[in-house]
Amino acid sequence: MAQDSHDAPDFAAMSGDAVLQHLQVTLDGLRPEEVRHRRTQDGENTFSQAPADTLCYRIRCAFINPFCIILAIVAFISYVTDSYTNGFSAGGKVEAGIIVIMIVIGGLLRFSQEIKAKHAGDQLRALLHTTVTVRRQGKCCHIAHTELVVGDIVLLTAGQTIPADIRLLQTADLFVSEAALTGESRIIEKTAAPAAPAAGRTAPDMAYMSTTVLSGTGLGAVIAVGNRTRYGKAARVSRPFKDSFQKGTRSISYVMLRFIFIFIPLIFILRGLPDHHWSSALAFSLAVAVGLIPEMLPMVLTACLAKGSISLSHKKTIVKNLNTLQGLGSLQVLCLDKTGTLTRENIVLEYFMDILGKESHKVLDLAYINSFYHTGIRNPIDTAILSCAAMPRRTDYYRTLTEYYHKLAEIPFDYTRKIATVLVGAPKKQPILIAKGNLKDIYKRCTAVAYENKTLPIRNGSFADVYTIVQDMLEDGMKVIAVAVKTFPKGTTVIRPQDEKDLTLLGYIAFFDAPKPSARISLEELKALHITPKLLTGDAEEIAKSVCRRVGIPAQHIVSGADLQDLDAAAFDATVRKNTVFAELSPEQKVQIVQSINRQPAMTGFMGDGINDMPALLAAHVGISVDTAVPATKDSADLVLLDKDLQILATAIREGRKTFTNMLKYLKITAGSNLGNIISVVMAGLCLPFLPMTSLQLLLLNLFYDALCIVLPWDTVDEEDIAYPKDWSGKHLGKFMLLFGSISAVFDGITFAFLYYMFIPLVLHCPVFSAALPPVLQEQYIRLFQTGWFLESLWTQIVILYFLRTSKMPFIESRPSWQVMSVTLAGLFVFTGLLFTVGMPVVGLVTMPAPYFVFLPGICAAYILCVGAGKYIYIRKYKKLL
């Protein structure tokens, strides 16, 4: 019975009886054996909202990325070149095997952390909307939405997220938001009458998975579940690429590849010209180029990201994708709503008044009836109005009032009309339409006003007359809505949006939307992090201005949704760039603003929790939601906060920048050191009659160093490095590599000269290396040289880590963490001690004489002084080190 969502138009055109017949079901529902059979055939009603939530996608991301691809190529080249030059010895296999092991370990580490994040997100999604009401064997029961099968008879109510594609069979004032599916905020009235969808629209008799019931009730038959639903198929199509981490990774990879492509032909030509042994020259050039790549880069980066993710999980933040941490580290602009973010979610009813500002219980009573019978998703305004029933001596009054008036029909609130309307009736009275909503939108539908039991026409009036009455309240930050009525002929039971005209304005209700005590402090923390907050709200300009004044957001000029409507693209972008507060916005305008910020370009975050926030959340580089958000919005977010508080977000951003900084430390320092080694190998290869270090020894050197760098995620980070957004790209990587790689190469050259002309001849009691030396002595000479450079490279790489990890004075102004200190120093002594073991001759290394360990500290001290000077020059020119 499985049906693709492509079959939905066929179901839409069928009658209800034909649908039931096709699905082989009755309104009484399925029998247990039928449910089991269909579940076996169709599977569970589950799907992955985004490709990153599928197991295959996460495996692909963990093991197939630019760095891993480069390493795989390196392993292949290492194996082929070494096998070619050494007759398929074990050396190439060892090198290639080590690199492959690094790829596997890094991939598994990343995969395990991604799965943990996924499971945390799944647990959050399970907190809300986990059950659905179905009819089976004539009885209503509640089941998990994952247990739905094709043919189930489902009952829909207001506030419910529709769990599958459903052909509606019965409806009563059923209005649905399809923002999760179409990105549009308008509401759709659904009916059970067969009708094919209009061009570009959804079918009116179909309720689609992930859309939300705003009001009314419905009953329908499930026609598709899981990935076969319209939403399931749309969600599995990759959304527009917005992962800046991957872009930055590609940029860094290109920088390294450029160096590789420069060195390969250069070394090939210089090495091959003297003796014209071009095959050996090619093998040598490829082997040397291999040394540029930080072999453990994927593993170290994943360790940094995993450490950051775990830290955030302890700080009420769930990271659904490890790469989100980079987005947090780079975040420059944060778009946020007012209610629940800057202000309390629970607003307080303060005033109810007539058109001249005099207290009016009639206005409150009609607003109460409207909120009481409004079956759409409850909002803070409805909650505040309905709380009046708890006032002393008012409970019985409001119970009697709602018993006297009964609901006939309604039109729920939507962001296009900004009005909630109900039609109510009473004995021996004409039906009354009660509308409450935005001041401007109510007023433009009014043709009269009511005052002291009199109805007066609006003649040559303007909205300024209304504004005069409520101006003080709006400027104080109060939220004001209008209440209007209209009488209909007896027997009226249906209303449409076009009936919301010729209304009579009765008065206003005012609410106090108090800012959160932590809002000002949180915004100051964000500003200290050099993040620009932009307020995007649907409330009136005056309310937005008042709230901004209270929480400290500059609001000299507020841009309204109306101001943005007629702007061309260039003017729109300029307006968004210059201003930080936007009011009276539709959900579509929020999306346009986010997209405009992206074009600046700037790393953009959007924080939202409503169904209408989802399009803007998807458009942002970092989508942020909370665990109380509607499921569709929460599923679409990259980051889920367990508490809707900007202080938690500020903490998450700081953690993201710490993670980012530690990733940059490893990348820049290691890449610069590796480049220095390659330059040194090139110089020595051109000047010396033997290789200064074999490719296996280079790989072992990098492996020792990288193993110690695994501890970098636990390093401390200077406040200056957290204060500004980070840029994950290869923009300055090449310059950093060239400067510090060249300094490293200079001291390698000094070490070469010392070993070749002084130390080794003195130790071996022989002249400088030449072909005249006995083969045994030549072998000793080469091994001592290679071991000496191996030690000097290892010591300088580790020592310099302390000096390039910070732009400050090491150990005095900036101390490394105890983990970094203990692991690196212990590793230095352990790896040095390995040279005194019997296993090192296997890789061509030997025990160095004791006098060499007098030279090592001296060369390291001189190297530190030169690196310090280079760091000073680099910071003056580029304003930052990392």
Among all residues, which ones are annotated catalytic?
A: 337
Give CA torsion, residues 170, 175, 181, 184, to 10 deg.
150
Beta strand 333-336 pairing with 604-607? parallel
Residue 171 vs residues 154, 155, 205, 814: alpha-carbon distances, Å: 12, 10, 9, 68
Q: Calculate ∠ Cα 660-662-665, nearest 5°.
A: 110
Residue 534 vs residues 415, 555, 585, 597, 619: alpha-carbon distances, Å: 20, 10, 13, 10, 15
The contacts of residue 629 (CB under 8 Å, 6+ apart) are 608, 609, 610, 637, 640
Cis status of the peptide bond prior to 601, with omega within 30 of 0: yes
Alpha helices in 729-774 (DSSP H): 733-753, 760-764
Residue 491 half-sphere exposure toward CB, CA atoms < 13 A = 0
* DSSP 8-state symbol, 47: -
Residue 47 half-sphere exposure toward CB, CA atoms < 13 A = 25
The span from the first CA to the last CA of the chain, in angstroms, equals 59
504 in Cβ contact with 435 (< 8 Å): no
Residue type, 755: L
CA–CA distance, 790 with 701 (Å, rounded to integer): 7
78 in Cβ contact with 264 (< 8 Å): no
Comparing CA positions, the residue from 589, 621, 596, 592 lying closest to residue 606 is 621
Q: What is the 3-state secondary structure (H, E, C) of 501-551?
A: CCEEEEEEEEEECCECCCHHHHHHHHHHCCCEEEEECCCCHHHHHHHHHHH
Taking each helix axis as running N to C, give the angle between helix 695-709 and helix 775-804, from 0 to 180 degrees, rounded to the nearest 10.
30
Comparing CA positions, the residue from 484, 488, 551 lying closest to residue 516 is 551
CA–CA distance, 384 with 395 (Å, rounded to integer): 15
- Judged by DSSP in three states, 168 sits in strand
Give CA torsion, residues 22, 28, 33, 34, to 10 deg.
10
CA–CA distance, 535 with 546 (Å, rounded to integer): 12
The contacts of residue 879 (CB under 8 Å, 6+ apart) are none
Q: Which residue has the tokens 């580490």?
A: 109
Residue 471 half-sphere exposure toward CB, CA atoms < 13 A = 7
535 in Cβ contact with 581 (< 8 Å): yes
Cα 783 vs. chain centroid, distance in angstroms? 51
Q: Which residue has the tokens 């390039």?
A: 804
- Judged by DSSP in three states, 871 sits in helix
Burial call 669-686: b when 16+ CB within 10 Å, e when fewer = bbbbbbbbbbbbbbbbbe
CA–CA distance, 141 with 744 (Å, rounded to integer): 73
